[in-house]
């Protein structure tokens, strides 16, 4: 009996997911072949002849632009005051903001001014019998999920392969940051591996404005397929989770500096490049040029900052009751980072250098677990947050739907999912 019920439930879920996937695909197909026209900023039916758009240039001020468009000094003052009190706007950004002047007919005085300080916000100032009134309108972006997939070729870096796959720089950097929690880019990346990214593009009036969030990442790493999904919990907080719903964001990073080559790995015995004799290498060396910022691998507190012959300038952070990290050979420390300072994950604590026993600029990075040095590339790192029972069930369902969507997009990379 129990079994039959289970089967029934599973079938329903599968049916539901299938239906949703079909809907997503239909929407995607329809939209892929619909080309919308970009046009005026406003949609209130005013003919284009009665509008006049001014792009703010460097040196322009609101009063200058208003005066040039026929406003009196008193009107300029009143509008400036309304903007300050009702929209918290005191200045215009050169080469960025747009101002639209609207008239009821071509010869009439301006009845409405629209300031567009960002694609997602516009401020409308309307002339009324009681003077100028101001209203802020938030614009919801139209979101699409797009899919890009690539392959690592011989001699490739993930960045090169990602750019070739058409993944925009900002998205690629985010993907790298995410994967860095799980992968060692030096040792896990090989020619022939495939990867894919699902991310948002934001549109306003049918025109692409910018990219949004990374929704899903997949990488066929040497140690196994790494998958991460962005998911919003019931409490409204978003995070990244692996396919089983475990937190993908770890409390520590294996590679604090992005895209830095590993020049020496963790080992219990290696010939020291300066000392010449064999001894353990208790960390990992990343090659980077002098002055490269060193981000904290995780949130924590500075427990040591100083100089010794081996490490040169170094900082040690304590992250929780069991984990500490150490960063050596720094050229200098970041301003204000002293013993006792609390740091966030990713916050710059110092800069790459070659102080102490070092043959050239690099970061020597150690992870210490319960007082013992461990291999940063292989140690199991604690996740920041895992999902509760209800969130986890929702996540698993969402993940299956998203996977189905990704599967379709992988067959039709020019399609997208309307969100
Ligand atoms: Zn080292």
Distance CA 115, CA 89 (A): 10
Of 90, 106, 138, the residue that ends a domain is 138
Q: What is the mean pLDDT of residues 15-41?
A: 45
Q: How far is the CA of 268 from the centre of ligand 1 (A)?
A: 12
149, 230: one domain: yes
Structure tokens at 293: 């910022």
Residue 45 has pLDDT above 60, yes or no: no
Q: What is the pLDDT of residue 251?
A: 83
369, 411: one domain: no
Please indicate, yes or no, if residue 31 is contained in any of the structural domains: no
Q: How far is the CA of 244 from the centre of ligand 1 (A)?
A: 35
Q: How far is the CA of 363 from the centre of ligand 1 (A)?
A: 7
Please indicate, yes or no, if residue 32 is contained in any of the structural domains: no
More confidently predicted of 1 and 123: 123
Please indicate, yes or no, if residue 36 is contained in any of the structural domains: no
Q: How far is the CA of 79 from the centre of ligand 1 (A)?
A: 62
125, 89: one domain: yes
Distance CA 289, CA 63 (A): 48
Please indicate, yes or no, if residue 92 is contained in any of the structural domains: yes
Q: How far is the CA of 283 from the centre of ligand 1 (A)?
A: 6
289, 394: one domain: no
Q: How far is the CA of 327 from the centre of ligand 1 (A)?
A: 9
Structure tokens at 338: 């002293």
Q: How far is the CA of 108 from the centre of ligand 1 (A)?
A: 74
66, 150: one domain: no
DSSP class per residue in 148-173 = EEEEPPTT--HHHHHHHTT--HHHHH
Q: What is the pLDDT of residues 212-269, one digit of tens each?
A: 999 999 999 877 889 999 999 999 989 999 999 988 888 888 888 877 788 888 887 6
Q: How far is the CA of 366 from the centre of ligand 1 (A)?
A: 8
209, 151: one domain: yes
Distance CA 302, CA 287 (A): 23
Residue 174 zone, left/alpha/beta (φ > 0; ψ -120 to 50; rest): alpha
Distance of CA 379 to the CA centre of its chain: 25
CATH number at residue 266: 2.70.70.10
DSSP conformational letter for 36 = P
Q: How far is the CA of 328 from the centre of ligand 1 (A)?
A: 8
CB atoms within 10 A of CB 265: 17
Q: What is the pLDDT of residue 46?
A: 60
Please indicate, yes or no, if residue 330 is contained in any of the structural domains: yes
pTM over 0.85: no
Q: What is the mean pLDDT of residues 185-201?
A: 89
Q: How far is the CA of 284 from the centre of ligand 1 (A)?
A: 6
For the chain, give the percent of residues with pLDDT over 90: 48
Q: How far is the CA of 364 from the centre of ligand 1 (A)?
A: 4
Q: How far is the CA of 106 from the centre of ligand 1 (A)?
A: 73
Q: How far is the CA of 161 from the centre of ligand 1 (A)?
A: 29
Q: What is the pLDDT of residue 321?
A: 83
Please indicate, yes or no, if residue 37 is contained in any of the structural domains: no
Q: How far is the CA of 180 from the centre of ligand 1 (A)?
A: 19
Q: How many domains does the chain have?
A: 3
Q: How far is the CA of 269 from the centre of ligand 1 (A)?
A: 12
Residue 349 has pLDDT above 80, yes or no: yes
Q: What is the pLDDT of residue 51?
A: 86
Of 102, 117, 138, the residue that ends a domain is 138
pLDDT band with cut points at 50, 70 and 90 for residue 3: very low
CB atoms within 10 A of CB 285: 23
Q: How far is the CA of 342 from the centre of ligand 1 (A)?
A: 25
Domain coverage including residue 234: 142-249+385-418
Q: How far is the CA of 285 from the centre of ligand 1 (A)?
A: 5
Q: How far is the CA of 189 from the centre of ligand 1 (A)?
A: 22
Q: What is the pLDDT of residues 56-85, one digit of tens each?
A: 888 888 888 889 888 999 999 999 999 888
275, 293: one domain: yes
More confidently predicted of 385 and 316: 316
Of 123, 138, 153, the residue that ends a domain is 138
CATH number at residue 96: 3.10.450.350
Q: How far is the CA of 251 from the centre of ligand 1 (A)?
A: 22
Q: What is the pLDDT of residues 146-187, one digit of tens each?
A: 999 999 999 888 999 999 999 999 999 999 888 888 777 766
Q: How far is the CA of 272 from the centre of ligand 1 (A)?
A: 9
Q: What is the mean pLDDT of residues 288-315?
A: 95
Please indicate, yes or no, if residue 6 is contained in any of the structural domains: no
241, 185: one domain: yes
Q: How far is the CA of 300 from the centre of ligand 1 (A)?
A: 22
364, 394: one domain: no
354, 389: one domain: no
330, 412: one domain: no
Distance of CA 107 to the CA centre of its chain: 48
Please indicate, yes or no, if residue 34 is contained in any of the structural domains: no
Residue 397 has pLDDT above 80, yes or no: yes
Average pLDDT, the chain: 84
202, 298: one domain: no
pLDDT band with cut points at 50, 70 and 90 for residue 31: very low
Exposure string for 223-254, b = 16+ CB within 10 A, e = fewer: eeebbbbbbebeeeeebbbbbebebbbbbbbb
Q: What is the pLDDT of residues 269-279, one digit of tens each?
A: 666 666 666 67
């Amino acid at each position: 009996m129990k079994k039959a019920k289970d089967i029934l439930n599973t079938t329903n879920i599968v049916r539901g997911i299938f239906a949703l996937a079909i809907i997503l695909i239909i929407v995607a197909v329809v939209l892929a072949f619909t080309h919308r026209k970009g046009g005026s900023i406003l949609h209130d039916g005013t003919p284009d002849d009665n509008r006049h758009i001014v792009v703010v240039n460097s040196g322009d001020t609101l009063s200058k632009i208003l005066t040039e468009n026929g406003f009196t000094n008193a009107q300029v003052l009143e509008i400036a005051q309304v903007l300050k009190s009702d929209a918290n706007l005191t200045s215009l950004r050169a080469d960025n903001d747009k101002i639209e002047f609207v008239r009821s007919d071509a010869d009439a005085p301006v009845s409405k001014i629209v300031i567009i300080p960002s694609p997602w916000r516009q401020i409308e100032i309307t002339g009324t019998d009681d003077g100028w009134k101001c209203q802020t309108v938030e614009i919801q972006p139209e979101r699409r999920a797009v899919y890009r997939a690539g392959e690592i070729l011989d001699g490739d870096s993930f960045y090169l392969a990602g750019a070739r796959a058409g993944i925009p720089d900002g998205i690629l950097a985010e993907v790298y940051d995410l994967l860095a929690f799980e992968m060692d880019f030096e040792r896990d990346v090989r020619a022939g591996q495939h990867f894919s990214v699902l991310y948002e593009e934001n549109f306003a009036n049918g025109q692409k404005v910018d990219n949004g969030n990374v929704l899903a990442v997949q990488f066929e790493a040497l140690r196994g397929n790494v998958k991460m999904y962005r998911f919003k919990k019931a409490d409204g907080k978003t995070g990244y989770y692996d396919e089983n719903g475990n937190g993908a964001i770890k409390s520590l990073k294996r590679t604090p500096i992005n895209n830095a080559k590993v020049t020496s790995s963790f080992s219990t015995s290696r010939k020291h490049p300066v000392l010449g004799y064999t001894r353990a290498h208790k960390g990992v060396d990343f090659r980077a040029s002098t002055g490269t910022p060193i981000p904290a691998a995780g949130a924590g507190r500075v427990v040591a900052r100083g100089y010794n012959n081996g490490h040169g300038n170094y900082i040690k952070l304590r992250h929780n009751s069991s984990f500490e990290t150490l960063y050596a050979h720094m050229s200098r420390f970041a301003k204000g980072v002293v013993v006792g300072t609390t740091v966030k994950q990713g916050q710059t604590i110092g800069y790459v250098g070659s102080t102490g026993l070092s043959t050239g600029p690099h970061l020597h990075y150690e992870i210490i677990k319960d007082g013992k040095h461990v291999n940063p590339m292989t140690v199991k790192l604690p996740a920041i947050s895992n999902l509760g029972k209800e969130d986890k069930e929702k996540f698993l369902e969402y993940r299956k739907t998203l996977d189905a969507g990704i599967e379709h997009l992988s067959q039709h990379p020019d399609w997208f999912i309307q969100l």
